[in-house]
Chains A and B, each alone.
Chain A
Amino acid sequence: MPLDRRDVDTDQIIPAHWLKRVERTGYGAGLFEAWRRDPVFVLNDPRYAGATVLVTGANFGCGSSREHAVWALQEHGFQAVISPSFADIFRTNCARVGLVTAALPEAAVARLMRRVERDPALSVVVDVSSRTVTAGGETHPFALDDFTRMRLLEGLDDIGLTLRHAEAIARFEAVRPAHLPRVSD
């Protein structure tokens, strides 16, 4: 699905009033809530119903740290977002919950955008294992560090991974300077 806008902020992806909820699910209906009221907004275009890849402009996901934005995209069915660049916290949140962010050069994204606009049925494959995006005979590599790639492929529990280093954490704690503050005595 093409969303040809840059600097899409997380307030647009999921507005604040949705954040009053304490659950982790149920955000799909809030995705792009304000823009969706416009009948010609791309999310309302039946030709893109069921799309799993979002192609969009630079600096996607800027603004608030709300992970709810990622949950909303996933619940709507997106598995990957392609953009020239992503905001830092949004990108980290995506890696945490398994939404793939593929950053491609600006020109490549612009070309892909035109192609999916012309041909809504075009298949766009984001392959985590080979770190490539393939669409209509064109293949582009995207950067993905080994660690994130492994977590995306194997769905590992991040906290479990860290707890394997419990000893290192305890050693670190034992030598923290005494003047550092505590919240309570």
Chain B
Amino acid sequence: MAQTLSQKVWERHVVRRAPGEPDLLYVDLHLVHEVTSPQAFDALRLAGRRVRRPDLTLATADHNTPTIDVDRPIADPVSATQLAALTRNCAEFGVRLYPMGHALQGIVHVIGPQLGLTQPGMLIVCGDSHTSTHGAFGALAFGIGTSEVEHVLATQTLPQPRPGTMSVTVEGALPAGVTAKDVILGVIQRIGVAGGQGTIVEYRGDAIRSLSMEGRMTVCNMSIEAGARAGMIAPDDVTFRYLEGRPRAPKGAAWERALDDWRSLFTDPGAAFDREVRIAAGELRPYVTWGTNPAQSSEIDGAVPDPDAFADGAKRESAQRALAYQGLRAGTAIRDIAVDAVFIGSCTNARIEDLRAAAGAIDGRRVKHGVRALVVPGSAQVKEQAEREGLDRVFVEAGFEWRAAGCSMCLGMNPDVLRPGERCASTSNRNFEGRQGPGGRTHLVSPVVAAATAIAGHFALPEDLS
């Protein structure tokens, strides 16, 4: 029978199927970080259980870590305790850990692909909703809660009900200046924050195929912002070129065997999805979110909408609430909104290509006086590579702060937080109330828009800058 990509990958991992029960799936890679794992390790210890496959489990410290003064002791004792717990747990249970200061440390979803650990056809889980990022390689990857983390540590398997399937096809060529971030913001604007609920979304079409691996990761990363369980893109030569030669990618004869296998990972002609959405790439523009959920966005050429214009009562109310929280008036041109801070970072947009794009937009100009601008590379390796290319100097000379790797201001668990009322252009993925600090106001944008905005002091495209 004709199968979709996600069905093929799902079927490969079924350890046990029984009527009336969820499938028991085998996990090829379990990524672990400090925030969602301590209670899981504690429970293992209490039950006298071991980690079944330490060789398929990798931990890193990212959410909570400061990205400044990283060689000094952590000032916040609660954060320090959590990071110490991760170190202790990994040592006790034999799990490899890339801690703060390690050359391979970084945001969990940046380091998996970078090491070549993320490969087509795998099943990958992590106690983090943006695990969907890894789907860019044709892997089935989704976020889990702490009880499930414990389950995977103990058994290397996870019972899961079979999700539905959905396709999002972006057809045609992307207009100049439209980035992967704009593609996914445009998709979410159209299908809504619950549009993918209960499904695995497969992104298809020329516009998706034309993206680099970095861009594909940006798209899959935000699948969860559309409510989807996971996002996937069928692997192709772009994927294989990215993987070849990476430390954990197969080598020699194993590489050839892997390639043969990976080339079978696509949706069969005639396979049906539960839901299909088509979007013309030509309609897409650079987007800026104005609200407090990722579907509430406008084109950068547009304006803050009038809540009364929403026909749906619930949408109207949520737009009203969002404008009140964000301190915005309906009808304000997006370009007229001034920002206090700019954050370039996160598992959505802190890979090397993102930093190159942002640096390219700066072009010798300086950050607007009064704007606090931060660049937080996605991993220590991204940081090192950027420094080799001289990008750090471009940022620093322009007035950006150049930081060590981590999640940082994406979720404001470390000292990088917005103050109440502060407005931030952010390349991250969530603009929820208080996400970047209590009372903080987040606007999601692409790296180029973020960089141009830092210079202009209000939302801008690189071509707006004089």
Binary B-proximity of A82-110 (CB < 8 A = 1, otherwise 0): 00010111001100110000000000000
Binary A-proximity of B46-66 (CB < 8 A = 1, otherwise 0): 010100001111100001100
Q: Which of B148, B163, B412 has the most chain A CB atoms inside 10 A of its CB?
A: B148
The reply to whether the CB of B346 lies closer than 8 angstroms to some CB of chain A is: no
The reply to whether the CB of A28 lies closer than 8 angstroms to some CB of chain B is: no
Contacts of B78 in A (CB 8 A): 20-21
Contact at B261–A65, with CB atoms within 8 Å?
no
Contacts of A65 in B (CB 8 A): 36, 127-129, 143-145
The reply to whether the CB of A79 lies closer than 8 angstroms to some CB of chain B is: no
Contacts of A2 in B (CB 8 A): none
Question: How distant is B15 from chain A, measured CB to nearest CB, in Å?
Answer: 5
Contacts of B43 in A (CB 8 A): 24
The reply to whether the CB of B212 lies closer than 8 angstroms to some CB of chain A is: no
Task: Considering the complex, give the chain B residue whose CB is closest to the CB of A168.
Answer: B16
Contact at B117–A183, with CB atoms within 8 Å?
yes
Q: State which residues 218-236 of B face A: CB under 8 Å.
A: 224, 227, 229
Q: How far is the CA of A145 from the CA of B18 in the complex (A)?
A: 13
Question: How distant is A140 from chain B, measured CB to nearest CB, in Å?
Answer: 20
Q: How far is the CA of A128 from the CA of B157 in the complex (A)?
A: 27
Of the residues B76, B81, B163, contact of A22 by C-beta under 8 Å? B81
Contact at A9–B156, with CB atoms within 8 Å?
no
Contact at B15–A168, with CB atoms within 8 Å?
yes
Q: How far is the CA of A42 from the CA of B184 in the complex (A)?
A: 35
Q: How far is the CA of A166 from the CA of B7 in the complex (A)?
A: 24
Contacts of A181 in B (CB 8 A): 28-29, 116-117, 119, 248-250
The reply to whether the CB of A5 lies closer than 8 angstroms to some CB of chain B is: yes
Contact at A159–B432, with CB atoms within 8 Å?
no
Q: State which residues 61-81 of A face B: CB under 8 Å.
A: 62-68, 70
Contacts of A162 in B (CB 8 A): 24, 151, 154-155, 157, 159
Contact at B147–A67, with CB atoms within 8 Å?
yes
Which of B193-201, B275-283, B347-355, B387-395 lies at the interface? B193-201
Of the residues A12, A15, A147, A179, contact of B258 by C-beta under 8 Å? A179
Q: State which residues 86-144 of B face A: CB under 8 Å.
A: 96, 116-117, 119, 122, 127-129, 142-144
Contact at B145–A22, with CB atoms within 8 Å?
no
The reply to whether the CB of B400 lies closer than 8 angstroms to some CB of chain A is: no
Q: How far is the CA of A162 from the CA of B39 in the complex (A)?
A: 20
Of the residues B39, B76, B146, B227, contact of A87 by C-beta under 8 Å? B227
Q: How far is the CA of A17 from the CA of B440 in the complex (A)?
A: 14
Contact at A85–B15, with CB atoms within 8 Å?
no
Of the residues A17, A67, A177, contact of B412 by C-beta under 8 Å? A17
Contact at A12–B432, with CB atoms within 8 Å?
yes
Q: How far is the CA of A163 from the CA of B302 in the complex (A)?
A: 56
The reply to whether the CB of A58 lies closer than 8 angstroms to some CB of chain B is: yes
Question: How distant is A59 from chain B, measured CB to nearest CB, in Å?
Answer: 4
Task: Considering the complex, give the chain B residue whose CB is closest to the CB of A172.
Answer: B15
Q: How far is the CA of A168 from the CA of B24 in the complex (A)?
A: 10
The reply to whether the CB of A16 lies closer than 8 angstroms to some CB of chain B is: yes
Task: Considering the complex, give the chain A residue whose CB is closest to the CB of B256.
Answer: A179
The reply to whether the CB of A130 lies closer than 8 angstroms to some CB of chain B is: no
Count of interface residues, chain B, beta-carbon cutoff 8 Å: 84
Contacts of A30 in B (CB 8 A): none
Contact at A17–B413, with CB atoms within 8 Å?
yes
The reply to whether the CB of B433 lies closer than 8 angstroms to some CB of chain A is: yes
Contacts of A182 in B (CB 8 A): 55-56, 248
Contacts of A64 in B (CB 8 A): 128-129, 411, 430
Task: Considering the complex, give the chain B residue whose CB is closest to the CB of A17.
Answer: B413
Q: How far is the CA of A72 from the CA of B156 in the complex (A)?
A: 28
Contact at A34–B433, with CB atoms within 8 Å?
yes
Question: How distant is B185 from chain A, measured CB to nearest CB, in Å?
Answer: 16
Question: How distant is B332 from chain A, measured CB to nearest CB, in Å?
Answer: 23
Contact at B430–A63, with CB atoms within 8 Å?
yes
Of the residues A88, A97, A180, contact of B197 by C-beta under 8 Å? A88
Task: Considering the complex, give the chain B residue whose CB is closest to the CB of A11.
Answer: B432
Q: How far is the CA of A163 from the CA of B153 in the complex (A)?
A: 12
Binary B-proximity of A126-147 (CB < 8 A = 1, otherwise 0): 0000000000000000000111
Contact at B28–A184, with CB atoms within 8 Å?
no
Task: Considering the complex, give the chain B residue whose CB is closest to the CB of A70.
Answer: B145
Contacts of A93 in B (CB 8 A): 145-148
Q: A17-B413, A169-B156 are in contact. Are A11 and B433 (CB under 8 A)?
A: yes
The reply to whether the CB of B314 lies closer than 8 angstroms to some CB of chain A is: yes
Contact at A34–B116, with CB atoms within 8 Å?
no
The reply to whether the CB of A178 lies closer than 8 angstroms to some CB of chain B is: yes
Binary A-proximity of B10-39 (CB < 8 A = 1, otherwise 0): 000001100011101010110000011011
Q: Which of A20, A85, A177 has the most chain B CB atoms inside 10 A of its CB?
A: A20
Q: A58-B314, A89-B129, A172-B26 are in contact. Are A97 and B147 (CB under 8 A)?
A: yes
Contacts of B129 in A (CB 8 A): 63-65, 89
* Residue positions of A touching B, CB distance < 8 A: 5-7, 9, 11-12, 15-17, 19-24, 34, 57-59, 62-68, 70, 85, 87-89, 92-93, 96-97, 145-147, 158-159, 161-163, 165, 168-169, 172-173, 176-184
Known: A12-B432, A181-B119. 4 other contacts (CB 8 A): A34-B439, A64-B411, A96-B148, A180-B122
28 residue pairs bridging A and B, Cβ less than 8 Å apart = A11-B411, A15-B434, A16-B435, A19-B35, A19-B63, A20-B413, A21-B78, A22-B38, A22-B39, A24-B39, A59-B227, A62-B227, A63-B129, A63-B430, A88-B197, A89-B145, A92-B148, A147-B20, A158-B147, A168-B24, A169-B155, A178-B254, A179-B250, A179-B254, A179-B255, A181-B249, A183-B96, A184-B96
* Residue positions of B touching A, CB distance < 8 A: 15-16, 20-22, 24, 26, 28-29, 35-36, 38-39, 42-43, 47, 49, 54-58, 63-64, 76, 78-79, 81-82, 85, 96, 116-117, 119, 122, 127-129, 142-148, 150-151, 154-157, 159, 161, 163, 193-194, 197-198, 224, 227, 229, 248-250, 254-255, 257-258, 261, 293, 314, 317-318, 321, 411-413, 430, 432-435, 438-439
